[in-house]
Amino acid sequence: MAIEWTQQTFLLNADFTFQVVMDAALTGKTVEFVIRKEPEDATTSYSVTSGITFTQTTIADDTANIPIAATGTNAMEEGVYSGAVWRTDTGEQRPLAYGPILAKRAASPP
- Domains of the chain in start order, with CATH, are 3-104 (2.60.40)
pTM for the model stands at 0.85
Q: Quick: pLDDT tens for 52-85.
A: 999 887 777 788 999 999 888 888 899 999 999 9
pLDDT at 3: 87
Q: Quick: pLDDT tens for 90-99.
A: 888 889 999 9
* DSSP secondary structure letters along 3-17: EEPPPEEEEETS-EE
Q: Quick: pLDDT tens for 22-57.
A: 877 787 889 999 999 887 787 888 999 999 999 887
